[in-house]
Amino acid sequence: MTLRFSKMHGSGNDFVVIDSRDGALALNPSLVRAMADRHTGVGFDQLLSVEPARDGVSAFYYGIWNADGSPSGQCGNGVRCVAAWLHRAGALNIGDTVQIQSPSGPVAVRLVDAHRVTVDMGEPIFDPPRIPFNAPHAADRYTMDVDGQALEIGAVSMGNPHAVVTVDEMTAPELSRLGPALTGHARFGEGSNAGFVQIVTPRHVRLRVHERGAGWTLACGTGACAAVAVLRQRGEVDAQVQVDLPGGSLQIDWQGPGERLWMTGPATFVFEGEWLDRRRGD
């Protein structure tokens, strides 16, 4: 089997994008893992498949597969890359706003220019059962035992579950241990993306994210949204925040509860290629 693909990234969070608009492609976890291998495959954090809309309203649907072959519900950096890919394919014009369906529901995207996209990420969800997170009621802060250490976290869903921890130092060595432990913590029924955020000013934060199914990534769009949502809910940041991640910066705009959250950031093409599947037994 030969698959044509585009390699892209959003602030260093890298993707393979596959054209499935004719609905003919059947992906499976084994294929995704093979392509994701950074030594023997293409290498990526997530694979994105652009498909026909399934809701009868959106312009397109996009599927999300993590590098370990597991499905994902939402990907903020990924949807920006999908929008830029659609523009390159002639299906979206600069200045257009269209609705694209994700596994977690529809999102609106606006192409600022060929390489920069604004995304309506919806309203953050703090209700524990909807995250899902095991807690008796919603709160700004929860205290958890994570690998033998008491951590204060915020919990929120941006179409996928997030745990947000405020830190004083982004390079603290314990983060390399706490990230995976928090991602797999039993109180998050479907796992979580673990974000460690440092407040520089009320309009500027730094962030590192350990993503479920992908590990530490250079950027996480929904993670940036989640961090700002948690901090904004607590009154610790302003309505417009620059989020610096290892791979680049994103702008997050959120007025607060009852309002929709917007993310703006880059989408970059790296190369085009063909994947020739030589695996045996698949």
Are 37 and 74 contained in the same domain?
yes
CB neighbour list of residue 7: distance below 8 Å, 6 or more residues apart: 14, 15, 16, 17, 42, 44, 269, 270, 271, 272, 273
Residue 220 designated active-site: yes
Instruction: Give the whole-angstrom CA distance, residue 250 versus residue 137.
Output: 31
Q: Is 221 annotated as a binding residue?
A: yes
Are 102 and 176 contained in the same domain?
no
What is the reported pLDDT for 265? 97
Are 104 and 167 contained in the same domain?
no
Catalytic residue, from 75, 81, 111, 175: name it. 75
Q: Which of 135, 167, 180 is nearest to 231 (CA)?
A: 167
Half-sphere exposure (CA, 13 Å, Cβ side) for 170?
A: 14
Catalytic residue, from 8, 18, 220, 227: name it. 220
75 neighbors 107 (Cβ within 8 angstroms): no
Number of folded domains that form the chain? 2
Are 135 and 180 contained in the same domain?
yes
Q: Is 193 annotated as a binding residue?
A: yes
What is the reported pLDDT for 282? 44
List the structure tokens of 88: 């390159």
Q: How far is CA 177 from CA 36, 147, 223, in A?
A: 24, 8, 18
Are 132 and 155 contained in the same domain?
yes
pTM, to two decimals: 0.90
Domain CATH number, residue 13: 3.10.310.10
Are 137 and 240 contained in the same domain?
yes
- Tens digit of pLDDT at every position of the chain (282 positions): 789 999 999 999 999 999 999 987 778 999 999 999 999 999 999 999 999 999 999 999 999 999 999 999 899 999 999 999 999 999 999 999 999 999 999 999 999 999 999 999 999 999 999 999 999 999 999 999 999 999 999 999 999 999 999 999 999 999 999 999 999 999 999 999 999 999 999 999 999 999 999 999 999 999 999 999 999 999 999 999 999 999 999 999 999 999 999 999 999 999 999 998 776 544
Is 96 a domain residue? yes
Are 161 and 232 contained in the same domain?
yes
The number of residues making up the chain comes to 282
Q: β-pairing, 240-245 with 204-211?
A: parallel
Q: Is 66 annotated as a binding residue?
A: yes
Is 282 a domain residue? no
Q: How big is the chain by its Cα radius of gyration, in Å?
A: 18
Domain that holds residue 196: 128-259
CB neighbour list of residue 12: distance below 8 Å, 6 or more residues apart: 217, 218, 219, 245, 246, 247, 248
Residue 225 designated active-site: no
Are 44 and 133 contained in the same domain?
no
- CA geometry: angle 69, 65, 43, nearest 5 deg: 75
Q: Is 93 annotated as a binding residue?
A: no
Q: Is 28 annotated as a binding residue?
A: no
Q: Give the number of other CB atoms < 10 A from CB of residue 141.
A: 13
- Among all chains, which residue has been given the structure tokens 């370990």? 68
